[in-house]
Amino acid sequence: MDSLYFDFCASTPLHPEVYDELMHSTKQIFANPSSVHDMGFEANLRVEEARERISVLLQVMPNEVIFTSGATESNNLAILGVVRAWAKKTGQIPHVLTTQVEHSSVYNCCKQLVAEGVEVTFLPVDRNGVVSVSTIEESMQPNTVLVSVMHVNNETGAIQPIQEIGKLLRNKPDIHFHVDGVQGFGKQSLLIEDIDLYTLSGHKIGGPKGIGLLIIKETVELAPLLYGGEQERGIRPGTTNVPGVLSMATAIELTLKNREETMRVLTTLHDLVYSKLVTIPEIIMNSALPPLSSPHIINFSYIGKGITSAILIGILAKQGIVVSSQSACSSKAKASRVLMAITNDEMISSSSIRLSLHESVSLKDAEYLLDSIEKMVNHVKTKNKFELLQGV
C-alpha cells in the first residue's frame, strides 16, 4: 500500500525545477568558490548571482543574505550572535524576549543562554497560541537586546503579530528583532523591513536539505559561531554549498511565484479537513481558524483513555497515512511543550496529531485522510488501553 504523506511541515519534496538545478550544479559547478582559478571564479559568480536574486525577492541588500546549513543554525546564529556581541561590547548581562511556543532550535538555544547566565523571558501565549504585543512591550528591560518570535507556529499554525511587533520595535534601535520565518514563508505575506534577522530553510519550501539562510540587516552587530575563512562576510565561514545555494534561490523564486495558487489549494483542503474534524466528538481542535492560523497546519487531539500520539500515529500508519505529533526535532518528547504552553492540559498535549498540507495533496487524498481518522477514532473507542499499546 502506498503511503499518503501529511507531514509537510517536517520536510517537503524537491520541486522538479529545483531538482534539475541541484543535479546540474552538483555535476557542473563543483569547484570551490573561494578558489582563485577560473572554475572557482565561475562558482563564486553563480553564488553571488543567487544571492542577488534572493535579495531582490526578499527586498533586502545582497550583503544581508547569509547562507547557512539550515534553520537550526540560522536561529542559533541570530540569537547567540546578537547576545554574545552585545555582552562583549558592553560587559553587561543581556536580556532576551521570546515565547514559550518557539521551535526547539530557538527555545533550547535560549535555555542554553539561561544556563550561561543570560536573562531570558519566555512569554506566555493565549488559547490560540498567539503572544500579545502589549506583553512584549511590558516585558522589555533596559538591557533587552533581542526579541525572537516565530512567524507561524510549526505545530499549530498560529500566526504571530510580526508586523505589529516590528512597528513596536521600530523606534527601539538597541533591540533587535529576530523572526523564524520557516513555516510562514510562501504561506503568509510578510514585510521584513522592520525585521533585523530572518530565518529560512531550504527543505521546507521544495528545496534541498542542508541549506538555509539568515537575513542579517547591516545595522546588526553579530558574533560568529564558527571561525575559519572569510566566507559569508566572516559571519559563517566554511566552504560554500554551491548546489544548495543555487537550489534554494530557485526554491524561493518558485515559492513566491506560485504563492497565490498554493494558498488557494491549501485553503480548500483546510476547509474540507477542518470542517469534518470539528464534528467528531472525541476530537478537540488545537489549531484556530484562519486568519489566526495558517491553513497548511491542522492540529488536533484525541480526548479519552489516556491515548498518546504514538498510538494514534501507529493506527493511521497501518492505513497508509503519514502524520506527526509535533516538530520532528522534538518528536521523541511525550507531551508537546507547545501545546502545554497553550492549553496547560497534559492529556491534550500528549495525544495530539499534526496534519500539515501541501499543494500536491488532492481532494481525494484529503477525503481518504478523513476516512482514516474516523476509522482510527472508532478503533480506539472499541479497544482498551492495553490492547492499543499492544497494537491490537
Write out the residue limits of the CATH 3.90.1150.10 domain(s) in the chain: 4-10+259-382
pLDDT of residue 318: 96
Name every residue whose Cβ is closer than 8 Å to that of residue 374 and which is 6 or more positions away in sequence. Answer: 280
For residue 329, which amino acid is it?
Answer: C
Terminal CA-to-CA distance of the chain, rounded, Å?
20
Write out the residue limits of the CATH 3.40.640.10 domain(s) in the chain: 16-255
- Output the nine-digit C-alpha cell for 135: 506583553
Which residue's C-alpha cell is 547567540? Answer: 80
pLDDT of residue 329: 56
- Output the nine-digit C-alpha cell for 24: 546540474
CA-nearest of 87, 88, 58, 311 to 184 is 58
Are 131 and 160 in contact by the 8 Å Cβ rule? The answer is: yes
CA-nearest of 269, 298, 268, 267 to 284 is 298
Per-residue pLDDT of the chain (392 residues; tens, 9 = 90+): 689 999 999 999 999 999 999 999 999 999 999 999 999 999 999 999 999 999 999 999 999 999 999 999 999 999 999 999 999 999 999 999 999 999 999 999 999 999 999 999 999 999 999 999 999 999 999 999 999 999 999 999 999 999 999 999 999 999 999 999 999 999 999 999 999 999 999 999 999 999 999 999 999 999 999 999 999 999 999 999 999 999 999 999 999 999 999 999 999 999 999 999 999 999 999 999 999 999 999 999 999 878 999 999 999 999 999 999 976 555 455 899 999 999 999 999 999 999 999 999 999 999 999 999 999 999 998 887 767 777 75
- Output the nine-digit C-alpha cell for 377: 477514532
Q: What CATH number does the domain located at 4-10+259-382 have? A: 3.90.1150.10
Name every residue whose Cβ is closer than 8 Å to that of residue 59 and which is 6 or more positions away in sequence. Answer: 191, 192, 193
Q: Among this protein's residues, is 9 annotated catalytic?
A: no
pLDDT of residue 388: 76
What is the total residue count of the chain? 392
CATH 3.30.70.260 for the 16-255 domain, yes or no:
no
Angle at 275 between CA 270 and CA 281, to 5 degrees: 130
The Cβ of residue 100 has, within 10 Å, a number of other Cβ atoms equal to 16
* DSSP bridge partners of 297: 356
Annotated catalytic residue, options 9, 109, 110, 329: 329
